[in-house]
Structure 1
Amino acid sequence: MRRAVALAAWKDGKLLLVRRPLHDPEFPGALGLPAVRLEPGEDPEVGARRVAREKLLAEVEVLGPKGHGVEARPGYTLELWVYEGRLLSEPRLPEPKPGRTYYTELVWGAPEDLWPAARMGSLCSRLYLEAQ
């Protein structure tokens, strides 16, 4: 079982989306929500703040949960929470680290921009769209 949390981060009426690299094994080139795997015992709300710090180099006010789901994937089961938040600082992309999911671009958009990733199988995109 892998536990993860994704962050739907808003600023000035726009949703911050991240683009995965073209060589990403699950969702190549897709726009989605930034996410991290939860540490053992880590609360999903705490994890949502960590998403902002680690994946966006920003601070966020977490507004609350927007979705939760469990999905069987090849080789593992994913349990995922989606939290919504308001960005308190300008986001930036960190340098890529080997063995970690990294993003190639930050894009300001809207929830409907998540449809292509949801159709590819992105659980966080699907959960957030279902919550709208």
Structure 2
Amino acid sequence: MRERGREVAVIPEFARPLVDQITAAQIYPAWTLAPAEWVVVHALIKRSGDDMLAGAAVQAAQRARNGVAHARYFLRAWQALPPAPAPGTIPAAAPTGPARASNVVPFPSAAGTGRVAQSADYLAQALADMEAQQ
């Protein structure tokens, strides 16, 4: 569309939740995409979902040295995203610590105890493991 010689972004209804999430993150690119680009955006929304696309856009905008002037900047990153997980899929639990037979010492947490106390705990655990094996 034209208004006084300027292009005006017309955002399709299917893209409104995505655009709103990106705008809520205080990222304001131009949304003057060609009809073929909107078709691609629509397919990406169906495949990966608004939340995943908005998260990728926010991350890309934070990495951009000179900011993001146009939404076209996000297309390549969006195309590299995986499909959204199937409904009802439960994410795998992240490991909470090293495996029992591991020789990896976990990085101390910021709110954790001091090194001496951690060392004493590790030694006590190692002694308990040795006793359990005998």
The TM-score, its normalising length taken from structure 2, stands at 0.23
Higher gyration radius (CA): 2
Q: Which has the higher strand share?
A: 1
The TM-score, its normalising length taken from structure 1, stands at 0.23
Q: Which has the higher helix share?
A: 2
- Relative CO higher for 1 or 2, CA cutoff 8 Å, sep ≥ 6? 1
